[in-house]
Amino acid sequence: MTAHRHRTIVLLSLGHACVDVHQGAVAALVPYFVAERAYSYAAASGVVLAASLLSSLVQPLFGALTDRWALPWLLPLSALAGGAGVALGGVTGSYPLTLAAVAVTGIGVAAYHPEAARAAREAARGSHTAMGWFSLGGNVGFALAPPLVWAVVATGGLGASPLLAVPAVVGAALCAAAVRSARAARVPDGPAAVPAGADDWASFLRLTGAVVCRSVVFTGLSTFVSLYVRERTGGGDAAGTAALFVLYAGGAVGTVAGGRLADRYGRLTVVRRSYVLTVFAVAGVLLVPGPVVYLFVALTSAGLYVPFSLHITLGQDFLPRRVGTASGVTLGLTVSVGGIAAPALGALADVTSLQIALLPLVALPAAGRLLLRGLREPGRSPSPAAAPAERGPGVR
């Protein structure tokens, strides 16, 4: 990889962190909405839904646009939009205005991911490890969201939330620098080239179903694990924040490890085993008492994040002619669509308990593993022993 392409990946990864810190901040704000505004579980999870639902609806649109044209100007603009929504969410005077504010964050996230993944794919030149570093940025952003929100809101209350816009300004500057670096590396910023190769929609839809299962587990735990661990351990805000931090921080290791493991064992092998690990890890979070819950939260994080960047490259390779659409779905839509399930979990928790409401999350990774059964590496022979190989220009 040339110096310019390496710099582009680094800048995109850092910008990814600044964007996704705001996506993670929406869930991190939930305990403070419950404490300061007396929101019910269902109402608090509705805030997550507001960010997720609009993002889910517009994500395919942005994906289709980036299939037709490269839109580098979207990167800094979407970073600013993501920060603006979170900044305003804590100072609005009503529940509907809070929902509207965080919906702006959802639009920013939706606009960012397809174009950023397209640019990262071009710079990575088919390297799973390089895409892992790009995905790592987003996971670091998620991991930093809970301590950042705690530092700002625990000291200044929800009224201090405009300070959460600072990463957006930094992210916009990093994204602008990434665009300049990509141009220097001669990454096309005109009409997107259409690669050779047929789109495999059947395999892509099965992959999408599996990632939706992963998304519901991730979003459900992101929304409620802080409150759940506080109840389970008898700890305060710090105990809940620590659990959410562990859930997100494990992604920093898991995402990079996923790329390296895929280079050695193959993407689908690593993805399938990760889903199996997630089944047992989520069960441990919900059923094993005491402080050991943090260990199972860490294992859950590994199971959820190791396949994260591999979902993206698999999706892009299943749809080589629609890389923007594939990126928007695997990186954006299926991350945000999990938020649609959050209010249902919250409503169930209101009438039963958080533990009972979260128990269905154990079964979802198993369902995802079944959907992955029989999938083959795109562009490969069906031999299960086939080792990962460099792809030609048509399926990078």
pLDDT for the residue numbered 239: 84
- pLDDT range class, residue 312, cuts 50, 70, 90: confident
Reported residue count of the chain is 396
279 has a pLDDT exceeding 90: yes
Distance CA 302, CA 277 (A): 8
Give percent above pLDDT 90 in the chain: 34
187 has a pLDDT exceeding 60: no
pLDDT for the residue numbered 227: 87
8 A C-beta contact, residue 204 and residue 315: yes
- pLDDT range class, residue 298, cuts 50, 70, 90: very high
- pLDDT range class, residue 49, cuts 50, 70, 90: confident
Q: What is the mean pLDDT of residues 327-343?
A: 72
pLDDT for the residue numbered 195: 53
Distance CA 234, CA 229 (A): 8
Residues 21-34 have pLDDT tens digits of 998 888 888 888 88
Distance CA 22, CA 224 (A): 17
Residues 234-277 have pLDDT tens digits of 777 778 888 888 888 877 778 778 888 888 899 999 999 999 99
8 A C-beta contact, residue 254 and residue 304: yes
Strand partners, 69: 191
Q: What is the mean pLDDT of residues 174-179?
A: 90
Three-state DSSP class for residue 157: coil
Distance CA 85, CA 206 (A): 33
pLDDT for the residue numbered 280: 96
Q: Give buried/exposed letters for 360-383 (b at 16+ CB in 10 A, else e).
A: bbbebbeebbebbeebebbbbeee
pLDDT for the residue numbered 381: 44
Distance CA 169, CA 176 (A): 11
* Residue 2: both structure tokens together: 């040339």
Three-state DSSP class for residue 152: helix
Residue 316's identity, in one-letter code, is Q
DSSP assignment string, 293-348: HHHHHHHHHHHHHTTHHHHHHHHHHHSTT-HHHHHIIIIIIHHHGGGGGHHHHHHH
Distance CA 187, CA 167 (A): 26
pLDDT for the residue numbered 189: 43
pLDDT for the residue numbered 380: 54
Would you say the C-alpha torsion 290, 353, 287, 49 has a positive or negative sign?
Answer: negative
Distance CA 83, CA 253 (A): 25
pLDDT for the residue numbered 126: 67
Residues with Cβ within 8 Å of 127's Cβ and at least 6 positions away in sequence, in order, are 1, 259
8 A C-beta contact, residue 120 and residue 181: no
* Residue 152: both structure tokens together: 């700002």
